[in-house]
Structure 1
């Protein structure tokens, strides 16, 4: 008779294995993977008295893949962002918790009839969240990468978001001068930072979603020009950046003379995270 294997023991052993592999959140990921296999939640795992051999084997396979630094979201196929659940996988950037703050800023500036444009939408996380929390807003989104656009289609299906495939540089010409809020999580990793990027992002996120020239601000410069074209006078733009770009990202907007109220915002850990500005009258 085989020994009973408990969920607690499996998670404990898996967490140790993930920690040894350099995974940043081993306990969380170990529990999340077992909950996925058992079709339950992390909070319900303590109620699991025994794990069947087939589930144990499936769990072991997923832990091995996570130990190889395959993103957790690719293994579960879903991720949560603010109050919505998104489907994600290979070919799309997995939204990070810190981006929820930028989405929150966009939501604060949205309202019934307010026109919001989400550039570089990726999985559609920000666009979906804006419409989820402000149902009366008019939301438009664009994504350049065909694979990522396919994931956004799935996440935005039936929401009413106007999703387009294309380059943000020339997107939404039909909306020029009539947009209230532009929001964007652009690529912002400098090419020289390749070795310092976590394997989950470097080896699995799309290159188009990561790299942005020698200083990481090439896309930000394009965004500044596009936002100036799209926004009505007094409209606002918000864009995420790397934590080392708190000053340089602000300078992209401040240096042109087109913007007022240019300021940077910190994340919950106190790190510079996104820049906002208002188009001058």
Structure 2
């Protein structure tokens, strides 16, 4: 097949795949179609640079397209997800990193005082935030904590790829502060910063997108309690206990939870100041809590001991 024939075949495949994905309700059919064509062609670069296609191109493209038509997330089909400068491994049953979470690293760098030698990634999932810290902050070390065994294993892989030998993953339940499995977390104190994208969806707020509802684990979505903030409160409580004076917590939350997250941090105590940062669309999405110099209040001690 000539190079011209290859390009004609690719144009036809791109048009047909885009139409199929559009009919299936995929939000970005053209972008996804290009990604599927690249995977079927085993091409890492631009499709226009291809002079030939594998013998199984059509069969492989059909297989991949059929999966996306069923609204399986593109990241799971490809086995990877972009996150800042990284290409992270993803697997079924583990929360897929989102572009909006990337802003947490910018906020970390903006609001940190002093070195970032030791950073915690709580409710780490795939380890996206911790891996980005290792990649972008030379000399940093990351301890990630994740309750799910499959996610913890994936986080280990992504941290090791981003910063060989500088990341560790602890499989533990942050809600069980008396567990011996958290001894390593306690021993890490004081730490310079904490980043977290915990589950925070309230129980009645069922996700609309099939990609989320059918493929992201519910444990990684729903935060517990009537307001979805049970797990985020545990994260805030650990931050009040583990951060050094001046250390900062950057925690993602839903766009309607800004006041409640600040109130939770104020009640737990140990932070000064508290603020909320918007995402790139202007919606309130991140709690910024700096550890003060004073002692924790009794409520915080009860939550973390």
TM-score, normalised to structure 2, is 0.84
**Structure 2 unaligned residues grouped into runs of 5+:** 294-305
Please give the alpha-carbon distance, in whole angstroms, between the structure 2 residues aligned to 1:255 and 1:61: 52
Equivalent residues of 1:236, 1:276 under 8 A apart: yes
| SS at 2:215 equivalent | coil
Report the alpha carbon displacement of residue 256 of structure 1 after superposing the two structures with TM: 3.8
Partner of 1:211: 222
Please report how far the alpha carbon of residue 153 of structure 1 lies from its aligned counterpart in structure 2 after TM superposition.
1.7
1:160 and 2:171 aligned:
no
2: CA distance, partners of 1:236 / 1:115: 12
3-state DSSP of counterpart to 2:56: helix
Displaced runs of 4 or more, over 6 A? none
SS in structure 2 of the partner of residue 168 of structure 1: coil
Partner of residue 186, structure 1: 198
| 2:252 aligned with 1:220 | no
Match of 1:174 among 184, 187, 191: 187
Aligned partner of 2:24 in structure 1 is: 21
> Contact (CA 8 Å) 1:82, 1:100: kept in 2 or not?
yes
Deviation at 1:270, TM superposition (A): 1.6
Unaligned ranges ≥5, structure 1: none
Alignment match of 1:88 (pick from 71, 87, 90):
90
Q: CA RMSD in A?
A: 2.2
- Number of the residue aligned with 1:79: 81
1:106 corresponding residue in structure 2: 108
Is 1:202 aligned with 2:216?
no
Alpha-carbon displacement from aligned partner over 1:78-113 (angstroms, at most 9, x marks no partner): 111111111111121110011110122234438756
Instruction: Give 3-state SS (helix, strand or coil) of 1:70's partner.
Output: coil
Q: Aligned partners of 2:285 and 2:10: how far apart in 1?
A: 37
Q: Please name the residue that 1:231 is paired with.
A: 243
Shift of 1:246: 2.7
Deviation at 1:254, TM superposition (A): 3.1
| Equivalent pair of 1:184/1:239 in contact (CA under 8 Å) | yes
Secondary structure of the equivalent of 2:46? helix
Other-structure match for 1:128: 131
